[in-house]
A = this chain, B = another copy of it.
Amino acid sequence: MLEYAAPVRDMQFVIGEMIGYERVAALAGCEEVNAELVDAVLEEAAKFAAGVLAPLNRVGDTEGCRLDGDVVHTPAGWREAYAGFCEAGWPSLAMNPEFGGQGLPKLVATAVSEMWDSANMAFGLCPLLTNGAIEAIEQHGDDTLRERYLAKLVAGEWTGTMNLTEPQAGSDLSAVRSRAEPNGDHYLISGQKIFITYGEHDLTDNIVHLVLARLPDAPEGTRGISLFVVPKFLVNDDGSLGARNDLRCVSIEHKIGIHGSPTAVMSYGDNGGAVGYLVGEANRGLMYMFTMMNAARHAVGREGVSIGEAAFQHALKYARERVQGQPPGASERAPIVEHADVKRMLMTMKAQVEAMRALSYVCALAYDTAELHPDDEVRARATRRGDLLTPIVKGWSTETAQEIVSLGVQVHGGMGFVEETGAAQYFRDARILPIYEGTTGIQAGDLVGRKTLRDGGTAARELIADMELTLANLAAADGEAAVARDALATGIVELREVVEWLVAGADDPQLGAAAANHYLMLSGIVCGGWMLADAAGRAVAAIAAGSDDPCYRAKLAAAAFYATQIMPRASGLKRMILDGAVVVAGLDTAVL
């Protein structure tokens, strides 16, 4: 039995039936994307994930990475797996064909990356970070940087990193102190960066660091931060590797989880300064980072889907095998999956994973549409939608993933607390998700401030209007689809009430800050209910059209479960905001 079997059918359902290939094929360069192509990609990726990456997940955890001098050794088997990953062309799947990419939409890459991270999240972080470096150089670098670095990064021959955090500058990047001194055609970078994912490793010959630093005359705060490319090995004009740059990994962190992913403390310029190349214009580094942030935050939210799916599969398998106790009315001992509370736990995992998956893919389509749709108005609207959904996908999916992996442990009982069953690893690995690429608090603040209040609620109201279209489509539904519809109707009312309360109170930022977390979770829960109500409608139609594919019955069950077991949380959140934000905002820290 495989450790992990990719949920290809549900991915096909979301991409092909909920979203629809006609919406993908309407995008520039995606005219050829259809079910046949995507199915083939998904099947191949599923094989690689299950056959190569999943078997290395546990060794990544138990062996972890090892720092020897300034060299980081990845766990046994990872070099070979990474080589195979590149050989199969996976790094370039959704990259720009100009630099060797295969040009598939982010929507498809999202499904494929979901598989990597379900199978082995610590491994998947390496390409995830490389994607960020590619995007930074492609969008903001000059031709020299693009020509010198992109083809190798796109092919996976080199990897990339993002160097933002410093000990005194975590969530608050305005406090960045690393320095960049002009020196001819380049800069000399110095400073210490922490929490650098795959900052050092033995998978590739070179590592391309993207580093935030300040020029000598830079203004204080966020307006004085520039972005630099700082390669581990300098690159000669012919593309070959030159001298070792003045940077090194000084330590790697001992973490709760993702032990296979080296989290480095990087020191730049111990011997005079690391050679770095300015990306774009000076002092605009933070703005460039923000343009990449949607993709990175979306990817982390999607990691929540990945690890939730993996934990669910793992717990379900155990629950079907483990015999314990007699359910009420049963005549003999039964697998624990037959116990009502275990079913409840498993469906709480499954229904939320499916809701998160659908929202994550819908958000990816918004990115694709914002970039590739021929119509300006459609692009603008998709940009607003992607911007709005990003903190929701990131914050809600990663927080919900905590619940899911913890339930995965709980289903295992005592065996969940011991490491050998593997449920523990998902629990530990997942804990990073609500922290990196902006904590949930940062996502919540972004959702309130930049994404809801800045446009006076426009994007949020557009989202609610789309939810109402789904409601309208379900007007005649009965059974489980009607249960999902009615819960969505309630959720819409609650979400709208909170949005209008926020917009009306926009002059009191303390109140918005106090409400932000609950607003984020409320938005996520209602979006999830929207996704599953929409899915239920399509399942009903497919069954009515004669399909006996069991996925439709399962989808209806998930939708009704979510409607009655998850959506009621939204009412509580609304009350915490409307009646309670004032209490939170008024808290004197002396009473803590």
Q: Please report A residues at the B interface, Cβ cutoff 8 Å.
A: 165, 168, 170-172, 174-175, 194-195, 253-257, 263, 316, 320, 323-325, 327-329, 333, 337-347, 350, 402, 406, 409-410, 413-420, 424, 427-428, 431-432, 434-436, 439-441, 444-445, 483, 509-510, 512-514, 516-517, 550, 553-554, 557-558, 560-561, 564-565, 568-573, 575-576, 579-580, 583-585, 587-592
Contact = CB atoms under 8 A, between A and B. Distances in A.
A509 B329 contact: yes
A13 B367 CA distance: 56
Contacts of A436: 414, 417
* Interface-central residue, A170, A344, A431, A575, by most chain B CB under 10 Å: A344
Nearest to A412: B435
7 contacts: A175-B333, A340-B514, A410-B434, A410-B441, A414-B436, A568-B572, A568-B575
A513 to B, nearest CB: 4
Contacts of A591: 347, 550, 553-554, 557-558
Given A483-B583, A550-B590, A565-B584, A325 B171 contact: yes
Contact of A579 (B346, B427, B564): B564
Contact of A343 (B255, B418, B592): B592
Contact of A414 (B170, B346, B402): B170
A17 B565 CA distance: 39
A570 B568 CA distance: 10
B418 A254 contact: yes
A460 B160 CA distance: 60
A446 to B, nearest CB: 12
Contacts of A409: 256, 431, 435
Contacts of A343: 584, 587, 589, 592
B580 A568 contact: yes
Contacts of A344: 514, 517, 584, 587
A443 to B, nearest CB: 10
Nearest to A432: B417
A255 to B, nearest CB: 5
Q: Which of A172, A343, A424, A558 has the most CB of B within 10 A?
A: A343
A323 B194 CA distance: 17
Contacts of A406: 402, 431
Contacts of A418: 253-256, 263
Contacts of A415: 170
A587 B513 contact: no
B557 A587 contact: yes
Top 5 nearest A-B pairs (CB, nearest first) are A564-B580, A328-B509, A340-B513, A568-B575, A568-B572
B171 A324 contact: yes
Given A172-B324, A328-B510, 4 more contacts: A346-B592, A350-B592, A409-B431, A416-B435
Nearest to A553: B591
Contacts of A175: 324, 333
A292 to B, nearest CB: 19
A414 B341 contact: no
Contacts of A571: 568, 571-572, 575
Contact of A329 (B323, B345, B441, B510): B510
A499 B439 CA distance: 39
A146 to B, nearest CB: 31
Contact of A513 (B171, B339, B440): B339
Contacts of A340: 510, 513-514, 516, 584-585, 587
A207 to B, nearest CB: 21
B583 A316 contact: no
A428 B255 CA distance: 12
Nearest to A440: B410
Nearest to A509: B328
Contacts of A445: 341
A5 B273 CA distance: 46
A310 B418 CA distance: 23
A331 to B, nearest CB: 13
B424 A410 contact: no
Given A325-B171, A572-B569, A341 B517 contact: yes
Contact of A441 (B254, B342, B513, B592): B342
A571 to B, nearest CB: 6
A562 B514 CA distance: 15
A114 to B, nearest CB: 19
A445 B516 CA distance: 36
